[in-house]
Homo-oligomer: A and B are copies of this chain.
Amino acid sequence: MKAIRYAVAALVAAALAGSSAAQTARSKVDAKAPLTLKSQGSLFVGGEKKTVSAPAAGPIPAQSGEITVNQMYVQYQVPMKGDQHVPVVMVHGCCLSSKTWETTPDGRMGWSEYFVRRDRAVYLADQVSRARSGFDPTSFSDVRSGKTPPAAMPSILSATHQIAWTVFRFGPRFGEAFPDEQFPIQAMDELYKQMIPDLNATLPANPNPTWTQMAALAKQLRGAVLMGHSESGFFPEQAALIDPSGVKGIVSIEMPCETNLSAQQLATLAKIPALIMFGDHLGDIAPGGAPVNWADAFKTCATFVEQLAKAGGDATMMHLPALGIKGNSHMLMQDKNSDQLAELVLDWLDKHVDTKKAKRT
Contact = CB atoms under 8 A, between A and B. Distances in A.
Interface of A: 34-44, 47, 49, 52, 54-61, 63-68, 71, 73, 75, 80, 94, 97-99, 102-103, 107, 109-110, 113, 126, 131-135, 137, 140-141, 143-146, 150-151, 153, 155-163, 189-190, 192-198, 200-201, 291-292
Contact of A144 (B59, B71, B98, B150): B150
B60 A157 contact: yes
Nearest to A126: B132
B140 A99 contact: no
B132 A98 contact: yes
Contacts of A64: 160, 162
A290 B65 CA distance: 14
A160 B293 CA distance: 43
Given A35-B37, A103-B41, A137-B197, A151 B158 contact: no
A47 B135 contact: no
Contacts of A52: 158, 160
A41 B102 contact: yes
A99 B143 contact: no
Contact of A196 (B42, B61, B63, B134): B134
Given A57-B157, A61-B291, A66-B160, A196 B40 contact: no
Contact of A189 (B68, B103, B156): B68
Nearest to A79: B34
B113 A40 contact: yes
A67 B165 CA distance: 12
A291 B63 CA distance: 11
A131 B160 CA distance: 19
Given A35-B37, A75-B102, A155 B144 contact: yes
Q: Among the interface residues A61, A66, A156, A161, which one has the most CB atoms of the partner chain B within 10 A?
A: A156
Contact of A160 (B47, B54, B196): B54
Contacts of A196: 132-135
A240 to B, nearest CB: 24
A278 B234 CA distance: 48
A71 to B, nearest CB: 4
A36 B77 CA distance: 12
A141 B156 contact: yes
A197 B134 contact: yes
Nearest to A103: B41
Shortest beta-carbon contacts, A-B, top 3: A134-B196, A65-B160, A57-B155
A190 B132 contact: no
A60 B134 contact: no
A153 B132 contact: no
A42 B99 contact: yes
B200 A58 contact: yes
B34 A37 contact: yes
Contacts of A144: 143, 150-151, 153, 155-156
